[in-house]
Structure 1
């Protein structure tokens, strides 16, 4: 949803930047600094930026973007320190700027006192199974031998349409052992980490399917 909105309105701003997978990247070495450099690089069109720690990054973002109307998407935020480092205060950005945050932790949005919140709707189980089946079997229900496995996969997807579509596309025409192999990988991933489950499936798609 955030990506679709971004693609629709990015041209209305002085500069724009889409920061994906913030939760994951921030855990990597110097991850927050790398994330801070991205909007500066995207908006200012500069690759070399003198940022050696996140505190310095905060100052540079404030100094360089406070006069620009920007659109920035912060995707998959899972910690307050990420928000504080990337968009801690409104006056870091010029009048009319828009910061879109995606997160599974509504508490983070409450702390920041965001202007508006939108909760992405999930599908009920029957709707989920039907959507998954259309992508996995090209019909609205699982084929007989795959009913139980389809039920398990559908449950793992947590009612998220994108997850159901990606998983279904990946498993289309796969053998029973391949299905079971995927499920074994999923069982090692916590239920709420749908991003990682999507990555497991997406990475295995061939280039045509990824497009």
Structure 2
């Protein structure tokens, strides 16, 4: 087996969820030295089937179920879609039943992240919607503790359930300093917990 890694798995339509993923990856690798493996999922077509070109046009490569199976921890991200995760990510997770049957993800730490165009557009419900399948897999769900000052100082995204970003109606907002700090703190926390659970910290 390869060196332990944290899987940062996301779907991003306009780039802001991807931007969060990259900051989470920085947090994973900044202090712990653990690898952050960035992966995405393909869009789904109107007939609900995944559309799979060989490789994405840009950004992270597509996630495999082996990537998920062998991770030491997971950070899962999606833009808000009516207060829920986006269909492509749900489609991928719905195909993970073989991992559930074997208990492959039990006792691994996991966290979630999201972005939305409106400030109160369903960030927290989207984060909770992503937590549900992780709990069914037996993963250890981890949010962001209030010891992180960004949670009480933020004027944009950032929740105790996971990192978030307020992108704006025209996708005009860049990640704020508080949002970046919370992303990196969450990435670092998941990596540290993975090391502790593996007895390597």
TM-score range, shorter chain: 0.3 to 0.5
Bigger strand share: 2
State the structure with bigger RCO (CA 8 A, min sep 6), 1 or 2: 2
- Calculate the TM-score normalised by the size of structure 2: 0.33
Bigger helix share: 1
- Whichever of the two has the greater Rg, that structure is 1
